């Protein structure tokens, strides 16, 4: 069995994957919002121990752990380059090994979601696609010729940052113009929030009163479905930087599809319609007519599936290939091949690999 942990800014999701059932069979969530530094890893470990006990599983049964982590990850040195949990150049794998007493395989969370969608979700049959995950931030992933593209320095999926896609907010990364502060789930909610302050008699302001000032994207769904003027105005304003970015990427890469994941995907078709309408405005007809904009299929589980895939792959004999050809790290994501690999690997094999590492 393999454990996948998807560590985000507000929660960490734990999934227990059974190779024979070929699915996540147990699931648990830990709140991470007020955690800092090494305390984050300690809390993950404490939760892991407690959770395994609750579901009658033991640590010896867990062949590998994959950790999908928020922030830019240098997967070659396993160092996090983000200060979300007060982490700057944080040696996460080293710290995780201290607690878990086994190798914890690290991957950026948005890249993990992309791998998950390629393995088990909306990207299964696609050769080339882009993925955008809208959460606390905006992450992404690029799949070219069925391979996850990692770039020359392993940072190829930081779609949330860079450029001049908006001119009203400074991003937490320090740049101004990033899509993240407006088009992330948090950014969309803040756009609704600001609108209610300026328009206290609007339908959104009334809805906000009902939710006691804790308006989420999901709460606005009934208004969006009704095509409410104020709600649609806010949604379009929040999604415009994202649509501009997608338009540039479509022209650059000519993908089969753009997959949208994260909390706002709960808005469903109206979200797709809004993004598609704006993307069409900023792309040439021959490009947008060929590229579909679709919703992610795995929802909350995409990052866990990706973490599980990475852990399984890095744990077995693909490791040789990874070390010699880093660009092939996530190549040819194929569910049957992976299942067979995992099933064929016996305990002795894993032990011998770990002792080598």
CA distance readout (Å), 147 to 151, 309, 332: 12, 14, 6
| Least spacing, CB of residue 173 vs Zn ion, in Å | 3
| Least spacing, CB of residue 161 vs Zn ion, in Å | 3
Residue closer to Zn ion by CB (options 174, 285) is: 174
Kindly report the CA angle at 208 between 204 and 210, in degrees rounded to 5? 120
Chain residues binding Zn ion by CB under 5 A are 161, 171, 173, 175, 178, 180
Kindly report the CA angle at 81 between 80 and 82, in degrees rounded to 5? 100
Residue closer to Zn ion by CB (options 64, 178) is: 178
User: What phi and psi, each to the nearest 5 degrees, are found at residue 40?
Assistant: -60, -50
| Least spacing, CB of residue 89 vs Zn ion, in Å | 18
Neighbours of 38 (CB within 10 A): 17
Q: Closest Cα to residue 293, out of 253, 267, 256, 245?
A: 256
| Least spacing, CB of residue 178 vs Zn ion, in Å | 3
| Least spacing, CB of residue 6 vs Zn ion, in Å | 21
Residue closer to Zn ion by CB (options 241, 264) is: 241
Q: How many helices and strands (H and E) does the chain possess?
A: 14, 12
Q: Are 303 and 68 in contact (CB under 8 A)?
A: yes
Residue closer to Zn ion by CB (options 22, 175) is: 175
| Least spacing, CB of residue 88 vs Zn ion, in Å | 16
Q: How far apart are CA 146 and CA 18, in angstroms?
A: 25
Q: Are 258 and 129 in contact (CB under 8 A)?
A: yes
Residue closer to Zn ion by CB (options 161, 288) is: 161
Residue closer to Zn ion by CB (options 244, 300) is: 244
């Amino acid at each position: 069995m393999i454990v996948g942990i998807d560590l985000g800014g507000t929660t960490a999701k734990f999934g227990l994957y059974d190779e024979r059932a070929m699915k996540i069979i147990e699931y648990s969530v830990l709140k991470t919002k007020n955690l800092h530094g090494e305390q984050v890893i300690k809390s993950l470990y404490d939760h892991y121990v407690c959770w395994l006990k609750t579901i009658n599983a033991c640590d010896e049964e867990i062949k590998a752990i994959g950790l999908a982590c928020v922030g830019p990850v240098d997967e070659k040195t396993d160092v996090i380059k983000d200060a979300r949990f007060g982490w700057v150049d944080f040696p996460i794998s080293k710290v995780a090994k201290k607690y878990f007493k086994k190798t914890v395989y690290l991957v950026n969370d948005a890249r993990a979601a992309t791998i998950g969608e390629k393995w088990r979700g909306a990207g299964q049959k696609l050769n080339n696609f882009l993925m955008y995950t809208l959460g606390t931030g905006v992450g992404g992933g690029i799949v070219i010729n069925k391979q996850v593209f990692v770039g020359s320095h392993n940072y190829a999926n930081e779609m949330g940052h860079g450029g001049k896609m908006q001119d009203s907010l400074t991003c937490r990364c320090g740049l101004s113009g990033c899509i993240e502060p407006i088009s992330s789930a948090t950014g969309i909610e803040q756009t609704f929030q600001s609108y209610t302050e300026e328009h206290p008699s609007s339908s959104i302001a009334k809805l906000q009163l009902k939710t006691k000032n804790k308006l989420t994207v999901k709460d606005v769904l009934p208004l969006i479905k009704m095509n409410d003027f104020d709600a649609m105005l806010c949604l379009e304003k929040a999604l415009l930087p994202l649509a501009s970015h997608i338009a540039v990427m479509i022209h650059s890469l000519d993908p089969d599809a753009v997959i949208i994941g994260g909390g706002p995907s709960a808005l469903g078709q109206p979200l797709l319609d809004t993004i598609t309408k704006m993307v069409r405005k900023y792309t040439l007809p021959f490009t947008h007519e060929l590229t579909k904009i679709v919703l992610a299929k795995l929802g909350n589980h995409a990052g866990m599936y990706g973490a599980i895939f990475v852990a399984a792959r890095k744990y077995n004999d693909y490791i040789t290939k990874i070390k010699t050809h880093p660009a092939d790290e996530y190549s040819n994501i194929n569910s049957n091949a992976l299942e067979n690999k995992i099933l064929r690997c016996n305990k002795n094999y894993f032990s011998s690999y770990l002792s080598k590492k």
